[in-house]
Chains A and B, each alone.
Chain A
């Protein structure tokens, strides 16, 4: 431990230099004493650490790990404390911007419920004991379960797996773009094509919450800003319940849960029949389009012909356009086909960039991995599992019966910063440094310049002496597992620096400093071209069930629940309902009326999987056949702020597989609703949703906008 301490001091010195350089680079903000009263908890200016400039905030570049997007950040450090995060203006991913989750990374770091020491069976233990136990138990059939992961952590992880035998790496994310990437692979042989909202004249989203949680929201919001500038693009959204993207759409269409594909096919049908477009290269697709008449759409998805026509007309008249989908594999494939039909490929849909050093490439998580982990665990194929960056006990749909699966695994190690449902059931818990205390490299899965790698550097000394970085632990594990070539490095910083120097092809201190300041570096990348759309079969999952369906959506904020321990995000009102600190079920007023329910009524939602009880909120942004319950709330062991609300995933039946994929579909679980009889006011930002005739948000028609060019 002492050795690593010394090393920390060393690299923090280095870091100080880097910071000074950053200061020269002009992105520092000197502090000063305001007229307002001083904060009594400021550290004394006496005898500061040698790398601290008293009273002067210095900005260091790092990377945000709040969601898989891996935005670049600048952290303001003063007196050795990180005070504020901003986006790194140099990165292509987020261009100096951050979302609320990125802002709240501070609270993930300073969280009062951090794990401060290793635990064995819940009892405090020393690192040596913990590591000894791990070396003893984790010998064969070792598995790793992580969230989305990339960069050198992934390299070390793979190396560890390779060394410990035929283990496997499960990357799990409930909120993922698996449908889109699969479709991309299947149709264009490109999992992650680059999208250009800013160039598009019209965008149709089939359940892809680009502005909220999809792939890289900050990237898309940045493009959205330009998309809305004159000439103004038109945004259309088809989804069962209103997402942040839908809330910003010019045309929002409610589709019955799980039928977005049918709607998309209907749009294609109109484009062919009404607007004379064709898709000769894909006969299968063509037939699928032709068979989906608006009338069928009407009774499959409950979308009116008028709405369908409007979408088709807009897409046909405004070019280039863009169709994105994440509702289901079917929808994603149709979206790809539509893009080809509309001639968007090459204009608003260009080949994605990949980096040469493939081992660093990002692994985007999926619930498919989650399901497979459950199967394999049940089958006894996993003896030991290392879990980090994921909370399977919370995010697994009830249908997967994750509790039993985890029980079936003999030895479980959690590498975590905070206690959660998973660490509760793990044999060994290793205290992880927070993202702001750790080193790492991250390859943005989307939006980065070709071959760009984001560097994560510590923004302050660890709050808790006993925590260690993920890289350091991986390195230690790798060494003890006998991975070659690791002995040379006494800590992850050393490893990383060597590796990065190799990638940028320079051992120079100055180059390393430049990388630190930039927070990113570019590895040689190679572009690759699309395949001309391979003629995949298009279909859709017809959902005959006429009853209500449970829709579990994710909202930017608590996300999949990993941010529920942030009081800022708990108190940041949900974008759509403006509710805070609790769960709710969104229902269409008509549906609520049918059940004799009103706002604030507690209802019990029952599926085969179980039942949850929460309050309803009625508005017209839900399909009458849908009951929408956002994820992220209802933790049982996640600190002082996370226990409010319910977790809808606990009643989601995961065995409803999507059409032609094993990806778990969490949007179409039949649900029964019954009033509990209790009513309590849902705590929201405002009690009214109307402007009451005040001119607060004024709305003008696009025609006027066109005439004035938006005042530009």
Chain B
């Protein structure tokens, strides 16, 4: 409609009714930006001309804080980097520190870490699914997602006592062993959960309105995705194998069977499909890990004060729920890191937002933003 009017105006060369750029501030307080992200959107009628993300509203300088904390103390702050998927970030830091100091965690601890990270991936993807559907306008999947996430959080709380910021995965092991009835409860949850995925798919996947809103919207081409640093499920939606669990295996991911979920279209719908399939894969990984869980110690033998060797450095990567999570640590011979850098998936994924939304409608910003699975604390750190 607006396009039609505009084309008529432009025919006469010098336009009589000039059209202005319509600048709208989406955020920092806006229902669809999942926190305090601010987008300055330049509109031409309903069509987006430019989207400029303004970051930093949640910047807490966790990297600076970590330079002034001991290595174990840093773990409590990694919880706050991505509080929707805190276990993964816990582990990302613990892995980097272990590599830096040559610590090998015992087998039981490794299996426990895998179970908890995959449960966390389920919880994170569930929240994502709800928020994505909510952005598009379906409010009910959000409640369904949170309902199942609640049961995962119950499992976490039963084990480590917290529901959001766990501080559970420690350097050289885990905080505390699981309770005896954890395994049975976990299996009961998985049995309950698997049919629920079908239910979400019934509700959303082939819903014609959902297809209209997501198919062909926000296409990340493979070349552009790699070049712009998109990672994780968002890049796998474009047909690139980029799962760190497969390419640079950590924990015991090389000992369990799981498929890397890849879709080729690169639009919002393929990113949705990738995450839905990943949930099923996570369920299978948890089942396999629970089977291979054997009694044993849960913490490696370590000196009472952990010190990194002088001039040591490490860059280790894991596949967090949102994509590639890298931790870069530089040790200077003391108990505190000289430099800690967290490379977060949301930060690099958000970069492509402007290119993906240019020329689309306002409503597509929400769909694309939702499908990128962005978490503001991870962007700002």
A and B bind: no
Interface, chain B (partner A; CB < 8 A) = none
